Amino acid sequence: MFLRPIEGITIVVDIEEMKVTQYNDREVAPIPKSEPTEYRWSKLKPPFGPRLNSVTTLPTGPGFKIDGNTVNQDGAPIQTPNAICIFERHTGDVMWRHTEAEMPGDVREVRPEVSLVVRMVATVGNYDYVIDWEFKPSGSIKLGPMEFAMVNPNKKTKIGHPVGYRLLPGLVVGPLLTDDDYPQIRAGFTDYNIWVTPYNKSEKYSGGNYVDQSHGDDTLLQWTDGNREIENKDIVLWYTMGIHHAPCQEDFPVMPTVSGGFELRPTNFFEYNPVLKVIPPKHVQWPNCTGKHQPVSTLNIWW
């Protein structure tokens, strides 16, 4: 529920008398109007927002192709055809959803996430670096993250590389509390986003076995202060993720989805690409329902 914001109030308290001696309300905070914030499809009126395409793929490839330019060793520009492509991506994620159980009929509304992707691929030898700029309908822009690698020097691939995995972090946040605040003492693991400790079967929970009763003496922070050896040991990688919600007007009346997460990706863990033999999608042709000779849509069906 949205409540009237309390802003611009100054209160002076006499600590010895434990009384409020002065109260000053300097301003009245504006309240958003409800007219343009209706989200129920059955109640919406024109003009409508953009229509997101259904889950189909273009038979000819990307929606748009743009030529680009590179430079040679002399600094002269060289035109590169089809250097950039622009297309829509259907991720299967939720752009926003909301359930209003207190309204008659149990209002439930949801919209799928469809983003516009501007892609460029740089090929160097046998490596193809795919760089995606992802533009979401909510106004967000997304680019690929940094990486953190972990390897086992005692186990190597056939050509001699140590096997490992790499962490691709998502949102990076830190605590807002002071170090001597009791909730922060219990949650010392939020001081950093990445921790590495030697494996200990008794160390299962970063906030201790009983978080609400902890004094901070059985947490990840205390285990790390021991400065134990981690090289050539069975290790545990702890990744702290979270979201600081800084409210803004775009959250009203229904907040667009904010995602957080991370990815663990193999690094020299396999001898070669493990998905080379994935069966390609079968293209099914759907005729146009008008019976006229028009282009057909292509639906990808996975077997």
Q: How many residues does this entry show for the chain?
A: 303
Task: Say whether 75 sits in a helix, a strand or coil.
Answer: coil
Per the CB < 8 A criterion, the answer to whether 136 and 96 are in contact is no
**Of 61 and 29, the one with more pLDDT:** 29
pTM for the model: 0.63
Q: Per DSSP, what are the bridge partners of residue 133?
A: 118
Q: Which helix (H) or strand (E) holds 220?
A: helix 220-225
Q: What is the tens place of the pLDDT at every residue in 249-298?
A: 888 877 887 777 888 889 999 888 787 676 665 666 666 555 454 444 44
CA angle 42, 45, 50 (to 5 degrees): 95
Q: What is the tens place of the pLDDT at every residue in 157-195?
A: 998 999 999 888 887 888 999 999 989 999 999 999 999
CA angle 188, 194, 197 (to 5 degrees): 80
Preceding omega of 253 cis (within 30 degrees of 0): yes
Q: What is the tens place of the pLDDT at every residue in 196-236?
A: 999 999 999 999 888 888 888 999 999 999 899 999 999 99
Average pLDDT over residues 120-131: 76
